[in-house]
Amino acid sequence: MSKPTPISGFPEWTPDQRMIEQYVLDRIRSTFERYGFAPLETRAVEPLDQLLRKGETSKEVYLLRRLQADVDGPAGDDALGLHFDLTVPFARYVLENAGKLQFPFRRYQIQKVWRGERPQEGRYREFLQADIDIVDRDTLAPHHEAEMPLVIGDALRSLPIPPVRIQVNNRKICEGFYRGLGLTDPEAALRAVDKLDKIGPVRVAELLIAAAGATEAQAKAVLALAEISAPDASFADAVNALGVSHPLLDEGVAELVQVMQTAAEHAPGLCVADLRIARGLDYYTGTVYETQLVGYERFGSICSGGRYDNLASAGAVAFPGVGISIGVTRLLGLLFGAGALTISRQVPTCVVVAVASEAQRAVSNRVAETLRARGISTEVAPSAAKFGKQIRYAERRGIPYVWFPGADEDEVKDIRTGAQVPARAEVWEPPAADLRPMVS
């Protein structure tokens, strides 16, 4: 057959990049678990009506169809699509299993999602997300909205990546302010403000007038709100100075003040109140988050989320939630592209045991067994070639040690320095820095 080619939007890492990704995922998972989030995985598919319940994402869904569906007759699979985020499936899971869960329910979920979007730098059709969410029954205490950035700050600080800045806003501030101004379609206004980074203030003002029915003065006030940014709760003074009042605005300001005060107390410098943050997905109802890598702001947000009050509800029972999602593939793709992440070797292997002849392979196997039982990743050379060739096998993969079984005594060679010393598999230890591949 001819050589296969990549499929645009479906990235595949090399094994050494995948080792870096696993290192990153292990760190993220460990942080999430230290905060008491329980793991969850949901199936990759949801009924189409679930996927289309909220938001403007309908055009991004991949539907499934069984190849032989016409032969076997309809199987109902035609109504299944791949999930495009982990929040909608989680809300469905909570509704389906509410009777078995303890509330508030804290879960993390690290899975691939799929969107049929046009691929571009940092945008994929298949990508990995790492989410945390907290949902409660009936009401959700606002301190959970303040906890989210602290968890994410901890998780991202544990990674070999640039420092981050979490930008926080509250939809109630925007909606309350727009209503206080007299605008009747606050959603249209929010959608216009959401485009600020892309099209700039002049065109957003035009859009506010054309699509959200704003006057020039109202458009100017909307933009003035969006320009407010502060590293602490002082953003509230700037909002008040604009002279608009509405009960929802007051509620939103009080909630954002709590988030900013908690952040200042527990993680100074992590959060900034940034009132231009809108988030496209329609299901957010309160606090919203985006995250910039300091020095790589051009990458856009690598971690986003917010509070949603109406995503999961069954009859009279509602399950309000708050969540945030790290775009792992996006983050790694950008950092790999910038050459900002490397690993010390291409394989987990620390030692290759040389093979003197095929008849003596069992001797080398036994050395390898002893080393592995002590937690040292070990391969046996694939052929009883000349030792020079066996050393090159290790060298090409960045494996630091080659082990030579001997009649009386074994020896181990550090192939970087050439130093070869007597060794016993029962006791030999590599330096800690050589035991596993190092990410930097």
The answer to whether 263 touches 149, Cβ cutoff 8 Å, is: yes
Nearest approach, Cβ of 340 to its own copies (angstroms)? Answer: 20
The candidate with the shortest Cα–Cα distance to 246, out of 200, 181, 196, is: 181
Query: Residue 115 annotated as binding?
Result: yes
Closest distance between its own copies and the C-beta of residue 75, in Å? 7
Torsion angle defined by CA atoms of residues 17, 295, 269 and 302, in that order, rounded to the nearest 10 degrees = -50
Please report whether residue 54 would count as binding its own copies according to CB under 8 A: no
| Residues 227-266, interacting with its own copies (CB under 8 A) | 262, 265-266
What are the start-end ranges of the H helices in 166-308?
171-181, 186-193, 196-211, 216-226, 235-241, 247-266
Q: How far apart, in whole angstroms, are the C-alpha atoms of residue 409 and residue 387?
A: 17
- Dihedral in degrees, nearest 10, Cα atoms 137, 139, 145, 146: -110
43 touching its own copies, by CB under 8 A: yes
If binding is defined by CB under 8 A, does position 389 make contact with its own copies?
Answer: no
Both structure tokens of 273: 């109140």
Q: Which window, 138-146, 183-191, 246-254, 271-279, contacts its own copies (CB under 8 A)?
A: 138-146
Report the residue number, 358 or 408, with the smaller CB distance to its own copies. 358
The set of residues, in sequence order, having a beta carbon less than 8 Å from that of 96 and lying 6+ positions away, is: none
Site for its own copies in 99-128 (CB under 8 A): 100, 102, 104, 106-107, 112, 114, 116, 126
Was 87 annotated as part of a binding site? yes
Please identify, among the stretches 30-38, 215-223, 225-233, 242-250, the one whose residues bind its own copies according to the rule CB under 8 A. Answer: 30-38
Of the candidate spans 135-143, 192-200, 279-287, 318-326, the one that interacts with its own copies by CB under 8 A turns out to be 135-143
- Per rule CB under 8 A, is residue 362 in the interface with its own copies? yes
Q: What would the DSSP string read from start to end of 327-385?
A: EHHHHHHHHHHTT---BS-SSS--EEE--S-GGGHHHHHHHHHHHHHTT--EEE-SS--
Interactions with its own copies, residue window 280-339 (CB under 8 A): 313-314
What are φ and ψ of residue 277, in 5° steps?
-70, 125
Interactions with its own copies, residue window 390-419 (CB under 8 A): 396-397
217 binds its own copies (CB under 8 A): no
Q: What are phi and psi of 376, to 5 degrees?
A: -100, 120
Smaller CB distance to its own copies: residue 104 or 162? 104
Q: Should residue 65 be labelled a site residue for its own copies when binding is judged by CB under 8 A?
A: yes
**Residue 308 in marked binding region:** no
Q: Which is nearer to its own copies, 52 or 209 (CB)?
A: 52
Q: Is 33 in the site for its own copies (CB under 8 A)?
A: yes
Interacting residue with its own copies among 336, 346, 387, 438 (CB under 8 A): 346
Residue 143: burial class (beta carbons within 10 Å; 0-12, 13-18, 19+): exposed
Give Cβ neighbours of residue 52 (< 8 Å, ≥ 6 apart).
Answer: 58, 61
Q: Which stretch binds its own copies (CB under 8 A): 68-76, 173-181, 215-223, 418-426?
A: 68-76
Q: Which stretch binds its own copies (CB under 8 A): 192-200, 230-238, 270-278, 356-364?
A: 356-364
4 binds its own copies (CB under 8 A): yes
Query: Which of 27, 83, 144, 172 is in the footprint of its own copies by CB under 8 A?
Result: 144
Residue 12 or 295 with smaller CB distance to its own copies = 12
Span from 80-88, 169-177, 189-197, 211-219 in contact with its own copies (CB under 8 A): 80-88
Determine if residue 55 is left, alpha or beta; phi over 0 gives left, psi from -120 to 50 gives alpha, anything else beta. Answer: left
Coil, helix or strand for 307?
A: strand
284 is in an annotated binding site: yes
Closer to its own copies by CB, 193 or 376: give it: 376
Is 137 near its own copies (CB under 8 A)?
A: no
Cβ 10 to its own copies, closest distance in Å? 4
- CA quadruple 204, 206, 210, 213: dihedral, nearest 10: 70
Site size for its own copies (CB under 8 A): 98
Residues 6+ apart with CB under 8 A from 98: 137, 314, 317, 319
Residues 146-185 touching its own copies, rule: CB under 8 A, are: 154
Q: Which 3 state secondary structure label does DSSP give 319?
A: coil
- Residue 402 C-beta: closest distance to its own copies, Å: 13
| Whether the bond into 405 is cis, omega within 30 of 0 | no
62, 296, 336, 387: residue in contact with its own copies (rule CB under 8 A): 62
CA angle in degrees (0–180, nearest 5) for 276-279-285: 100
Annotated binding site for L-histidine: 85-87, 115, 129, 133, 279, 283-284
